[in-house]
Structure 1
Amino acid sequence: MASLIDLNLYPDPPNTATIATGYATTAATLITPKIEPKLEPLDQPLDVPPQPYLASIPIPNPNPNPTFTLIPQHPTLVPDSNLFGAHPEVDQNNVYSEFHRISELFRTAFAKNMDKYDDIQASDPDSQAIVSVPAENQLSPVVVSSRRKYPARSSELVRVTNLGIQDERMELCVVGMHGQAQAGIDYLTSSQSSNGEPIATSVIVSGGYEDDEDAGDVIVYTGHGGQDKNSRQVVHQKLEGGNLAMERSMHYGIEVRVIRGFRYEGSASGKVYVYDGLYKIVEAWFDVGKSGFGVFKFKLVRMENQSEMGSATLKFAENLRTRPLEVRPVGYVSFDISMNKEKAPVFLFNDIDGNHEPMYYDYLVTTVSPPFVYHLGGKAGGCNCVSGCSHDCFCAKKNGGEFAYDSNGLLVRGKPLIFECGPHCRCPPSCQNRVSQNGLRNRFEVFRSRETGWGVRSLDLIQAGSFICEYTGVVLTREQAQLFTMNGDSLVYPNRFGERWAEWGDLSQIFSDYVRPSYPSVPPLDFAMDVSRMRNLACYMSHSSCPNVLVQLVLYDHSNFAFPHLMLFAMENIPPLRELSLDYGASDEWMGKLSICN
């Protein structure tokens, strides 16, 4: 599956008005893009069948009161008979657009029993397009039979504002940023628009056409069609499909989403797609391309008052990994606070003040537990898998008959406890069931923040379900913890972490018979960790009630259920330079007030 996954990145919003085209306001320290799985939607070659893809974009938004405004049947737009004339003036306060009704598409995508929607589809003559509908073009209701399991895309094009967290995530998860599997232009067809004219909604800019010109805020975009399987222009393009939709969007002054695709080493397939905001189509013309064939060209200009383009942020982080001092000559305190203890360097950056506190602690790669932890729990039994573990081996049975990780080392579903293969197993270090014990995979940066004191961000793209690091410290019993608290030392209490692992792989909203994993089970974690002298980068992660990192309990070097390792995994696709956050939970009776190093 990893080879079919590409990642999307989108920035945070420029203001409080939130649109379903990809913006969201967050409380994060940095305004940075977000990434979600999606397959490359290249233009369809003339002799290659379309390929399946994944287009799912969850976006957080703090506004709890969604407002949906259907576009009037008769907006103040005047049709222009000039095919390539300038677009008419439009109301700039009404520039954000989106399509698909949330409720209908959610029912379509996630209803348990789809058979009841199988036989009929009705075209609604009252569905409201973003442009006016001539009376002669209005249709009567028609009922048609179909073998498809899913109804066609909605014919409504609406503008959506003020979406709450759950509403916006649900809508964008169902709709997707780009609905075409192969074509670079996504649009509502004439049959899906009640006025009978196609409307473009998004475009992919990935260098697939030799006549494209990309200057960031201004793009000369080549229409689609006319290419062979080697991406060479071999015939003239026609004013149809997506090309006609682009011209009609220019005609009516409707903005389009722009998504850039380019190669990226940190993604699952080697390429990422970055949402770069809304653009207006201001000009369209027919020209002779570099290959000598006629192509349609569209000039796109980025709309004002938007956040920095996500692609710019991604490229900035890429430059930081290779030549940090050229990109940021001031602010670096250390290029590796782990002192080569980690497999990847951990940067320390502070351009705010002279605080160098993280340099004063011993870096601890893995948690230090008392000797009795290894004796009371007994030795961890091992499997006899020489070439790699299978689903019927000893370690798989300890995990309830299935491994928690896929073949790429991604956490598939959170569990109360995960047993990884340990020192007594005969399987190799590359075994599918050895993930968190292998240390860092990504390059991280501990940085000074005005909002959270200290924070942690990655210089790499982190795929959802990926292992990040262990939350390390020196294990203390209840009695020891009480003494250390009196002494004023910094303690972390593992049983206070929120059970976010239960959310990872939770299908209860889709399948009513979903059962939350309960095996293997663990007793309450009756210990604390001292981080006052020894710690690692995890100690600098900030608290959040909506975190992007979860704590997963793991055992691999002993069998004492009461003292598992605290392993951290990504709850979502985390783009470079996005601050990492944990849910530290709430205090209990004997532990008192939360005390963390920040």
Structure 2
Amino acid sequence: MGSLVPFQDLNLLPDPPMTATITPKIEPKLEPTNEPSQTPVSNHPQRPQPLPTPELPNSTPEFFLNSPHTPQTPSPDGGDQLFSEFHRVSELFRNAFARRYGRGGGDVSVLDPETLAIVPVKNEEAQLSPFVASPSSGSRRLQLQPRSSELVRVANLSDEEKRYFREEVRQARLIYDSLRVFYMTHEEGLDGRMRRGDLAAASMMRGRGLWVNRDKRIVGPLPGIEIGDVFFYRMELCVVGLHGQPQAGIDYLTASQSSNGEPIATSVIVSGGYEDDEDAGDVIIYTGHGGQDKLNRQRNHQKLEGGNLAMERSMHYGIEVRVIRGIRYGGGATPKIYVYDGLYRILECWFDVGKSGFGVYKYKLMRIQGQPEMGSAIMRFAQTLRTRPLTVRPRGYLSLDISERKECMPVFLFNDIDSDSTPLYYDYLARTAFPPYLMLQNANGGGCECVLSCGSNCFCASRNGGEFAYDHNGILIRGKPIIFECGPFCKCPPTCRNRVTQKGLSSKLEIFRSKETNWGVRTLDLIQAGAFICEYAGVALTRDQAQIFSMSGDPLVYPSRFTAKWTKWGDLSKVFPDCVRPAYPSIPPLDFAMDVSKMRNVACYISHSSISNVMVQYVLYEHSNVSFPHIMLFAMENIPPLRELSLDYGAADEWTGKPPLLCN
């Protein structure tokens, strides 16, 4: 088990004399999102602390001061007065810290750049579980603990422990996405409008004790979260514990919760919500919170309290903070997405006059070296790659569309490792080729009679158990043994919501040469959890034909061998105990194989993984033989650009007893 290191009691300096003061109102740093305002409720009241704030002139100055790191040249008319005012403000700022913490009036410095404020403890004392058994109701009922006030850092995790926590976070996100889609498609508010699925899902999971990483307040890397992970909703950050504030930009441990009575910041969201923010990637000038009106305009001076003070204290003790960037991303489910970009240290803190003329606190953050590349930088690179691939990669491309326009999106072929160009030797097959007699069996029709759009009385919906398989955005609602889509014999238009998979690729994909997996597939677009990716295509063979082909050693894929991970998508049994897995429509054991020795598509190069981010869902639309469905691939999680796709090919084949035979 990896070790946890708790936050040490740092009462190293004498506390200032406490006077009877009114506790200042803490104003969270609000980010301009599309989500409704939510005021975080704390179970621990703030301890009154007299925090001196530099006094600034009430009138708005006619100049904008830069940070002390980018000084301006004094102008002949009033330049000396400008710098005198700046010097006065800076001295007030430093003296404020000196009076608060009993230090001299010099610059604020880091007590310990190696963060010895956090010391190790025994491993057996470290338990990472979001649940605690309720003593009054037995060990089977679980009760959510309030958010912990214990500050720790998780270190020295083994590979097995990393996989465990990664899977724990994946399961929480899977439940969140399934529950969110459920609320979006099944629930309405009192006013008749659809509920906010992201908020309802988070609230329900919190009530069921399904939020993770809540039993410890973790600084530094969070177990189960990787740099580059993407989130569409702010509340999902709370569900996985990456950022505990649904609206505030600074997440911190309050002074009343801290053992030494000082607040400590743990994470920040950088999304350009403050006009004085400067983001250069590895270096960030981050503006503190407070002083804004409802339209995100600075209207008052900021105060050294709440998250602002927590940021200064984290700088003082050398404690790193997690940085999540909120960036605009076109074509996504939401206008803004959130990308985890790793750990930063707070190097400097100063008081300045912002562009609006009001006083603001600024913090210089620098990214810690040795981490993987920032997810936001990868997304920007992928955006250029989608439109101008040869500009950013002049060498390595073997084809800019290996499908030769058989797909609605180009499929790149990239190899910058060696001279292998094997995928070029195969004919590209965009759709699975089934035996002709299957089409003849359905020649008499059998589709729905919907003309404008399919509704509750649709024949195809009744075949799916009385409901559609997708929401209005084409996201899979619940995994099923098989899904019946509207097909060529239906009268509904091509825009029907029940024709998702037959429309072809929804994202640009790239086949690439890999040292680890020979060939692999990665996406150039951001793929949302539950979205259709592509079909696993080949030439369908009967059992007898497959046995003959297997003797010659040709690569065959057996659809019955894929792990049924569709059962996890939409599984709400942990939220609703009476929820059961869909068993209808039912299908018999699949009695066919697919030959990919001569003709194949991009899916045949997806690598195998038991903890895959892609799942198989069987679909029918152009014929009615449930023994020969299409093998459709859907995303099990949010897949960022340039992240490799993986698929669980299952156990050994029941026909031959051989392990999974991959196209690689």
Structure-2-length-normalised TM-score: 0.69
Total equivalences in the alignment: 508
Alignment deviations for residues 429-456 of structure 1 (CA, whole Å, 9 cap, x no partner): 1111110011011111011111111111
- Contact 1:155 / 1:193 at 8 angstroms: preserved in 2? no
Determine the C-alpha separation between the residues in 2 that align with 1:525 and 1:572: 26
Alignment deviations for residues 409-447 of structure 1 (CA, whole Å, 9 cap, x no partner): 011111100011111222221111110011011111011
Verify: 1:88 aligned to 2:125, yes or no: no
| Higher relative helix content | 2
Match of 2:356 in 1: 291
**What is the letter of the counterpart of residue 157 of structure 1?**
R
Cα displacement (A) at 1:51: 4.8
Determine which of 444, 453, 478 is the counterpart of 2:509: 444
Determine the C-alpha separation between the residues in 2 that align with 1:372 and 1:150: 51
Alignment deviations for residues 349-389 of structure 1 (CA, whole Å, 9 cap, x no partner): 01111111111211111111111223446755222222222
Determine which of 429, 432, 446 is the counterpart of 1:364: 429
Match of 2:314 in 1: 249
State the secondary structure of the residue aligned to 2:490: coil
Verify: 1:477 aligned to 2:477, yes or no: no
Determine which of 262, 267, 289 is the counterpart of 1:224: 289
Alignment deviations for residues 465-493 of structure 1 (CA, whole Å, 9 cap, x no partner): 11011111111111111111122222111
Cα displacement (A) at 1:514: 2.4
State the secondary structure of the residue aligned to 1:312: helix
Matches within 5 A, 1:51-450: 51=38, 81=103, 85-92=108-115, 103-104=129-130, 128-129=150-151, 157-158=217-218, 174-376=239-441, 381-450=446-515
Determine the C-alpha separation between the residues in 2 that align with 1:420 and 1:17: 48
Q: 1:387 to 1:102 in 2, by over 3 A?
A: farther
Determine which of 634, 637, 653 is the counterpart of 1:572: 637
Determine the C-alpha separation between the residues in 2 that align with 1:44 and 1:473: 48
Verify: 1:514 aligned to 2:579, yes or no: yes
Alignment deviations for residues 121-161 of structure 1 (CA, whole Å, 9 cap, x no partner): 9999xx64569xxxxxxxxxxxxxxxx97999979535698
Alignment deviations for residues 549-569 of structure 1 (CA, whole Å, 9 cap, x no partner): 111000111110110110010
Cα displacement (A) at 1:195: 3.7
Bigger drift between 459-468 and 357-366 goes to: 357-366
Determine the C-alpha separation between the residues in 2 that align with 1:117 and 1:149: 9
**What is the letter of the counterpart of residue 354 of structure 1?**
S
Flag the structure with larger Rg.
Answer: 2
Cα displacement (A) at 1:201: 1.4
Alignment deviations for residues 36-68 of structure 1 (CA, whole Å, 9 cap, x no partner): xxxxx97268xx971599xxxxxxxxxxxxxxx
**What is the letter of the counterpart of residue 302 of structure 1?**
R
Alignment deviations for residues 479-523 of structure 1 (CA, whole Å, 9 cap, x no partner): 111111122222111111111111112223333322111110111
State the secondary structure of the residue aligned to 2:361: strand
State the secondary structure of the residue aligned to 2:337: strand
Q: 1:202 to 1:485 in 2, by over 3 A?
A: same
Alignment deviations for residues 301-347 of structure 1 (CA, whole Å, 9 cap, x no partner): 22232111111111111111111111111100110011111111000
Match of 2:68 in 1: none
State the secondary structure of the residue aligned to 1:385: coil
- Contact 1:363 / 1:536 at 8 angstroms: preserved in 2? yes
Bigger drift between 210-219 and 408-417 goes to: 210-219
Determine the C-alpha separation between the residues in 2 that align with 1:325 and 1:94: 49
Verify: 1:525 aligned to 2:590, yes or no: yes
State the secondary structure of the residue aligned to 1:233: coil
Determine the C-alpha separation between the residues in 1 that align with 2:601 and 2:142: 54
Determine the C-alpha separation between the residues in 1 that align with 2:222 and 2:270: 28
- Contact 1:374 / 1:560 at 8 angstroms: preserved in 2? no
Cα displacement (A) at 1:179: 2.1
Determine the C-alpha separation between the residues in 1 that align with 2:215 and 2:542: 62
Determine the C-alpha separation between the residues in 1 that align with 2:219 and 2:473: 39
Match of 1:496 in 2: 561
Q: 1:409 to 1:493 in 2, by over 3 A?
A: same
Q: 1:215 to 1:582 in 2, by over 3 A?
A: same
Q: 1:95 to 1:206 in 2, by over 3 A?
A: farther
**What is the letter of the counterpart of residue 183 of structure 1?**
A
Alignment deviations for residues 224-276 of structure 1 (CA, whole Å, 9 cap, x no partner): 12223443222211112211221222222221111112111242113221111
Determine the C-alpha separation between the residues in 2 that align with 1:106 and 1:427: 52
Verify: 1:595 aligned to 2:661, yes or no: yes
Determine the C-alpha separation between the residues in 2 that align with 1:158 and 1:277: 14
Determine the C-alpha separation between the residues in 2 that align with 1:42 and 1:379: 63
Please list every run of 5 or more consecutive structure 2 residues that lacks an aligned counterpart in the other structure: 6-27, 41-100, 121-125, 154-205, 230-235
Q: 1:326 to 1:352 in 2, by over 3 A?
A: same
**What is the letter of the counterpart of residue 401 of structure 2?**
D
**What is the letter of the counterpart of residue 112 of structure 2?**
E
Cα displacement (A) at 1:595: 2.6
Bigger drift between 302-311 and 400-409 goes to: 302-311
Q: 1:540 to 1:117 in 2, by over 3 A?
A: closer
- Contact 1:490 / 1:597 at 8 angstroms: preserved in 2? yes
**What is the letter of the counterpart of residue 37 of structure 2?**
P
Cα displacement (A) at 1:101: 8.1
Determine the C-alpha separation between the residues in 1 that align with 2:607 and 2:408: 23
**What percent identity do the matched residue pairs reach?**
64
Q: 1:297 to 1:96 in 2, by over 3 A?
A: farther
**What is the letter of the counterpart of residue 352 of structure 1?**
I
Q: 1:96 to 1:314 in 2, by over 3 A?
A: farther
Q: 1:506 to 1:284 in 2, by over 3 A?
A: same
- Contact 1:337 / 1:348 at 8 angstroms: preserved in 2? yes
Match of 2:161 in 1: none
Please list every run of 5 or more consecutive structure 1 residues that lacks an aligned counterpart in the other structure: 1-15, 21-40, 54-78, 132-147
Determine the C-alpha separation between the residues in 2 that align with 1:491 and 1:399: 30
Verify: 1:50 aligned to 2:50, yes or no: no
Q: 1:510 to 1:116 in 2, by over 3 A?
A: closer
Determine the C-alpha separation between the residues in 2 that align with 1:160 and 1:219: 18
- Contact 1:379 / 1:558 at 8 angstroms: preserved in 2? no
Structure-1-length-normalised TM-score: 0.77
State the secondary structure of the residue aligned to 2:545: helix
Q: 1:116 to 1:554 in 2, by over 3 A?
A: closer
Determine the C-alpha separation between the residues in 2 that align with 1:439 and 1:518: 27
State the secondary structure of the residue aligned to 1:372: helix
Match of 2:600 in 1: 535
- Contact 1:379 / 1:559 at 8 angstroms: preserved in 2? no
Q: 1:88 to 1:380 in 2, by over 3 A?
A: farther
State the secondary structure of the residue aligned to 1:539: helix
Match of 1:3 in 2: none
